[in-house]
Amino acid sequence: MSFVVELSPAAEADLERLFDFLLDQAHTTEDLDRAQSAIDAIRAAAQHRLAITPFSFRKAAQSPAQRELIIPFGGTGYVALYEIVSPSKVVVLAVRHQREEDYH
């Protein structure tokens, strides 16, 4: 079975925030390319991994429907909070860098 994966408006805003942060930190054209690669990696991981096995990742709340996907990237990575909202749909609620305090 395959799940439909959607990003919530808040998750889209998180991706924009993360991209803007990476652009602000960029010093070279390679850094600019890496910023886009990071966002692409987050989107790809969410689409591919959550579409197939959303129940296999760690629980994020008391509800078994809310879980976290760890997305490795470089020496660190990102964490996507998502919810399994139906037997065929997953919604990414938020995205943060692993070194950030928590979701907003």
Low-confidence ranges of the chain (pLDDT < 70): 102-104
Query: What residue spans define the domains of the chain?
Result: 4-97
Say what the pLDDT of residue 63 is.
83
Q: List pLDDT tens digits, range 45-74.
A: 999 999 999 999 999 888 889 999 999 998
CATH superfamily of 4-97: RelE-like (3.30.2310.20)
* Number of other residues whose CB lies within 10 A of the CB of residue 88: 10
User: Which of 80, 102, 99, 100 lies closest to 91, judged by CA?
Assistant: 80
